[in-house]
Amino acid sequence: MTFTSVVHDIDVGVFLFFKDCWGKWKGFDDAVDVLAGNSLLKAGPILVMIWCMWFTRSGEITRRRTGIVSLLAAGCCAALFSVMLTKVLPLRPRPMFEPSLGSTLAMPVWSRVSSLPSDHAAMFVALSVGLMFVSRTWGIVALLDTLLFICLPRAYIGLHYTADLVVGALIGAAFAYMLNSDFVRNRFSRLLVEFEAARPPVFYGALFVLTLEIAELFQGARQITSVAARAGSWALRGLIVGFN
């Protein structure tokens, strides 16, 4: 028995366990469905923690703020890296759309990429682990919130296998540790903290837009990128046809 087959058996077993629970408590199912899809409930708690930590005046303000800049960068990098992996990895249908697991649901367009890894797990674990470098207590609270109210609902309704979430979480934790190194903090994050002191209107305007995109898992940026890529493709084809 190979490692891959063991992981597959665990993934299928966990999904079928949750699938057997569907419909037994309709109110619970509805609540989980809302948790899995509502951006405010998913991102609101951790973003409130981050903003509160940013404006806390006690302790080492500069060190705390460089840590927050680093964790935001880690969340963005983890989300981008995980999305790139879903584009290049072989298609792994989400369990809720897998016919071999008894699903009769048609796979929507948004789901026609690999479910491995989970970009939600990657980004929110990166933010949570990064927050531990700023405040261990609030970081643990954020990580528990991520596991219980972001990752678990996605496994319950079949948006991801367990392995998708684990791999996403490992990606997020890795970026959190890399971007909270002293080298990154002192060479890059500190520059943005100094920019905040010099140009607060520009800094906070950009920070607001960034946290808004984080709350939506960069859906706005993804749509713009997709349209720009299609437009570039059409323009390139036009040039090729023109030269021919």
Q: Which tens digit of pLDDT belongs to each residue from 115-134? A: 889 999 999 999 999 999 99
Task: Determine the pLDDT at residue 94.
Answer: 86
Q: How many domains does the chain have?
A: 1
Question: Is 160 inside a domain boundary?
Answer: yes
Structural domain harbouring 221: 11-230
- DSSP E strands in 181-239: the ranges are none
Q: Please tell me the least confidently modeled range out of 23-37, 133-147, 230-244.
A: 230-244
Query: 223: buried, middle or exposed (CB in 10 Å: 19+, 13-18, 0-12)?
Result: exposed
Could you give the C-alpha distances from 94 to 19, 103, 213, in angstroms and in order?
A: 13, 10, 24
Task: Determine the pLDDT at residue 20.
Answer: 86
Question: Is 4 inside a domain boundary?
Answer: no
Task: Determine the pLDDT at residue 8.
Answer: 79
Question: Is 1 inside a domain boundary?
Answer: no
Q: In the 8-state DSSP scheme, what is residue 95?
A: G
Task: Determine the pLDDT at residue 108.
Answer: 55
Question: Is 101 inside a domain boundary?
Answer: yes
Where residue 242 falls among pLDDT bands split at 50, 70, 90?
low
Question: Is the CB of residue 155 less than 8 Å from the CB of residue 11?
Answer: no
Question: Is 241 inside a domain boundary?
Answer: no
Where residue 107 falls among pLDDT bands split at 50, 70, 90?
low
List Cβ neighbours of 139 (8 Å cut-off, separation of 6 or more): 128, 129, 130, 131, 132, 133
Whole-angstrom Cα distance, residue 96 to residue 236? 38
Question: Is 5 inside a domain boundary?
Answer: no
Predicted confidence (pLDDT) per residue in 165-193, tens digit: 999 999 999 999 999 998 999 889 999 99
Question: Is 235 inside a domain boundary?
Answer: no
Question: Is 244 inside a domain boundary?
Answer: no
Whole-angstrom Cα distance, residue 26 to residue 16? 18
> Which residue, among 53, 47, 95, has the nearest Cα to 75 in the 3D structure?
47
Whole-angstrom Cα distance, residue 218 to residue 238? 30
Where residue 241 falls among pLDDT bands split at 50, 70, 90?
low
Average pLDDT of the segment spanning 156-168: 93
In the predicted structure, residue 103 carries a pLDDT above the cut 80:
no
Average pLDDT of the segment spanning 146-152: 94
Question: Is the CB of residue 180 less than 8 Å from the CB of residue 74?
Answer: yes
Output 187 or 69, whichever has higher pLDDT.
Answer: 69
Whole-angstrom Cα distance, residue 40 to residue 31? 14
User: Is-above-0.85 flag for pTM?
Assistant: yes
Long-range contacts of 105-114 (CB under 8 A, 24+ apart): 113/86, 113/87, 114/85, 114/86, 114/87, 114/89, 114/90
